[in-house]
Amino acid sequence: MDSLLLFAVLTLWSLAVYHHLMYPLLLRLAERYLPIDQAPEYPAEEDLPEISILVPAYNEASVIADKIRNIAALDYPPSRLKLIIACDGCSDGTAERARATLAEPEVAQLQVEIRTFSENQGKVAVLNELIPEITSPIVTLSDASALLSHDALRVAAGRFQNPDIAVVAATYKLLTPGSVGEQRYWRYQTRILQSEALLGSPIGVHGALYFFRRDLFAPLPHDTINDDFMLPMSIVAQGYKACYEPNIVAVELEQATSNMDQARRVRISAGNLQQLLRLNGLLHPRMGTIALTFLSGKGLRALMPLILLCQLLLCVALSASNPLFLLMTLTQLLAIVVAADAERLTRKIPLLRRFSPLFYIINGYRSGVIGSVRYLAGLENGHWKPVNKQEHSS
């Protein structure tokens, strides 16, 4: 019996090592030996496509004015740019603040439509209703709390000159990271996306800012959790290409507290499992290297919380007869306990700050276990609200 358990735990460890060490090494080799996809020149002024920017907003009064001013200041002809602000049951005066901002001279030339929904429907419902109404060939989805780099739209327009490109992913940066661990995590994720793009497509985009061809949009199931993965990757699954563009940057203004970050990661983990099940066509051999990167990256990431939980339970089972597994069990449990209280402990014990990235990862997988269990139990219904604007409801 012990030999069977040992084989099982070694298999799970192998998957964890591959996902965390071998796969990043594979991507590093891709960076070294595959040519970097250089951004094309800006299109001529007369060739610039019309772009509509859709900003779903739920109680974003504190940032909506800066968002409007930022878009009005972008280097793009106002006659070919439309901004749609969708106030999804806002109760903090987001729409009123947006209308007041439109009276400012700096935004006078910007074409803006403010859509208000009396009740909060959720982001997916808003996208499904509004995107089919957009007539622009290129749609941009962007968070209200993210500011766009000055030439973002021109760079994206250059990418879309290639008819095979259907999705353009932007680089995500934090203005004020909530922790060292969060900052390093997003740097790591940016590197992964950039490397995956060399092998065919970035596996996912960040919802703060991305672009896609409107005519390829298909309504999302109402219970979709990670819409910013499901929408672009469903387009990739149709055989089109996505690209990662480091010269397009979205800067997140809001700083997440540790509680906000953990709540968001619970929900994202539930969405990771959902998207693995619903977009399993990306694993088909016809997808080529995209199948490899989807399985190695997002696929194993979706399963990793359950993989790590199972290996811990196996270590517990083996610890009764093997002192080494007893030590490994106690070490893992201690790391989980310390990571859960890392914010307080790092203030008291400065030496522990060196392990902040490790604590961030451990807490992420702890949240991942919760999110995966919630999804499997049917407790995640896809009704979207920004984590920092809710009391962790639906």
Closest CA to 82 of 138, 155, 146: 138
pLDDT tens readout for residues 32-83: 888 777 777 888 898 999 999 999 999 999 999 999 999 999 999 999 999 9
- Residue 256: per-residue pLDDT: 66
Element (H, E) at 148: strand 146-148
What 8-state DSSP symbol labels residue 246?
E
pLDDT tens readout for residues 4-24: 999 999 999 999 999 999 999
- Residue 352: per-residue pLDDT: 84
The CA distance from 3 to 6, in Å, is 5
Reported confidence tier of residue 355, pLDDT bands at 50, 70, 90: confident
CA-to-CA separations, 105 to 93, 108, 276, in angstroms, rounded? 21, 5, 47
Block residue for tokens 């959790």: 225
Percent over 70 (pLDDT), the chain: 94
343 Cβ neighbours under 8 A, 6+ residues apart: 179, 258
Closest CA to 71 of 116, 99, 111: 111
Residues 208 and 143: beta-carbon distance below 8 Å: yes
Residues 278 and 230: beta-carbon distance below 8 Å: yes
Beta strands at 51-57 and 241-252: parallel, antiparallel or unpaired:
unpaired
What 8-state DSSP symbol labels residue 19?
I
157 Cβ neighbours under 8 A, 6+ residues apart: 42, 43, 48, 49, 51, 138
- Residue 1: per-residue pLDDT: 67
Reported confidence tier of residue 385, pLDDT bands at 50, 70, 90: low
The CA distance from 227 to 233, in Å, is 10
pLDDT tens readout for residues 222-280: 999 999 999 999 999 999 999 999 999 999 988 766 677 778 889 999 999 999 999 99
- Residue 391: per-residue pLDDT: 36
DSSP per-residue codes, 157-171: HHHTTSTTEEEEEEE
Q: Is the pLDDT of residue 316 over 50?
A: yes
pLDDT tens readout for residues 205-220: 999 999 999 999 999 9
Single-letter amino acid code for the residue at 101: T
What 8-state DSSP symbol labels residue 238?
T
Mean pLDDT of the chain: 90
- Residue 389: per-residue pLDDT: 45
Across 116-121, average pLDDT: 92
The SS3 of residue 22 is helix
Across 111-131, average pLDDT: 95
Q: Is the pLDDT of residue 189 over 90?
A: no
Tokens at 244, concatenated: 């990662």
Instruction: Count CA atoms within 13 Å of residue 187 on its CB side.
Output: 9
Block residue for tokens 């250059």: 158
Reported confidence tier of residue 184, pLDDT bands at 50, 70, 90: confident
Block residue for tokens 């030496």: 351
Element (H, E) at 72: helix 64-72
Q: Is the pLDDT of residue 297 over 80?
A: yes
The CA distance from 328 to 100, in Å, is 60
- Residue 279: per-residue pLDDT: 95
Which position has the higher pLDDT, 177 or 8? 8
Closest CA to 234 of 189, 290, 288: 290
The SS3 of residue 271 is helix
Residues facing 56 on adjacent strands = 86
CA-to-CA separations, 322 to 5, 6, 12, 331, in angstroms, rounded? 12, 11, 18, 14
- Residue 393: per-residue pLDDT: 31
